[in-house]
C-alpha cells in the first residue's frame, strides 16, 4: 500500500497541528488548556515520525511514536498532579499565579 499523499503534505499536516498546539501553549492561561496544547504538540511530533517512516516503509517511526507516547504519558501525569497541587494551594488554575516558584 502506497502512502496516500506525498511526504511534504504529510509533514505540513503534522506541522500545522504542532503550530496550533504552540499557539495554545502561548495564549491560554488555564493550566489544563496549556497541558492539552502540550499533548497536541507531542502528538504532532509522533505523527511526523510515523508519517515520515511510512514513506520509507520502516518500523523505526512507530518505535519513536511509542517513545513519544511514553513521554506524553509521564508528562501528563506529572502535569496534572502539579495542577492539583496548584489548585489546592492557590485556589486557581491560572498559570500566571504560579510565577513565584518558591516551595
Partner 1 sequence: MAFAFYLSAAIAIGATVMVVTSANAIHGLLYLVVSFLAAATVLLLFGAPFAAALEVIIYAGAIMVLFVFVVMILGVGSRERRARPPGRAWIGPAFLAAVLAAELAYVQATGRATVAPGQVGPAAVGASLMGPYLAGVELVSVLLLVALIGAFHLGFRLGERQTPGKKGGGA
- Name residues whose C-beta falls within 8 Å of residue 3's C-beta, 6 or more positions apart in sequence: 10, 51, 54, 55
Minimum Å gap between C-beta 16 and partner 1 is 6
The minimum distance between CB 29 and partner 1, in angstroms, equals 12
List, in order, residues 6 or more apart from 16 with CB less than 8 Å away. none
Contact letters (x/-) for partner 1, 40-79, by CB under 8 A?
Answer: x--x--xx--xx-xx--xxxxxxx-xxx-xxxxxxxxxx-
Query: Least distance (Å) from partner 1 to the CB of residue 77?
Result: 5
88 or 99: CB nearest partner 1: 88
The label of the residue with cell 505523527 reads: 47
Amino acid at each position: 500500500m502506497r502512502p496516500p499523499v506525498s511526504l511534504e503534505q504529510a509533514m505540513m499536516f503534522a506541522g500545522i497541528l504542532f503550530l496550533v498546539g504552540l499557539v495554545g501553549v502561548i495564549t491560554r492561561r488555564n493550566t489544563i488548556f496549556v497541558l492539552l496544547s502540550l499533548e497536541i504538540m507531542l502528538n504532532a511530533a509522533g505523527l511526523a515520525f510515523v508519517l515520515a517512516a511510512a514513506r520509507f516503509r520502516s518500523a523505526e517511526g512507530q518505535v519513536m511514536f511509542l517513545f513519544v507516547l511514553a513521554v506524553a504519558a509521564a508528562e501528563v501525569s506529572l502535569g496534572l498532579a502539579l495542577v492539583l497541587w496548584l489548585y489546592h494551594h492557590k485556589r486557581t488554575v491560572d498559570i500566571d499565579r504560579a510565577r513565584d516558584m518558591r516551595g
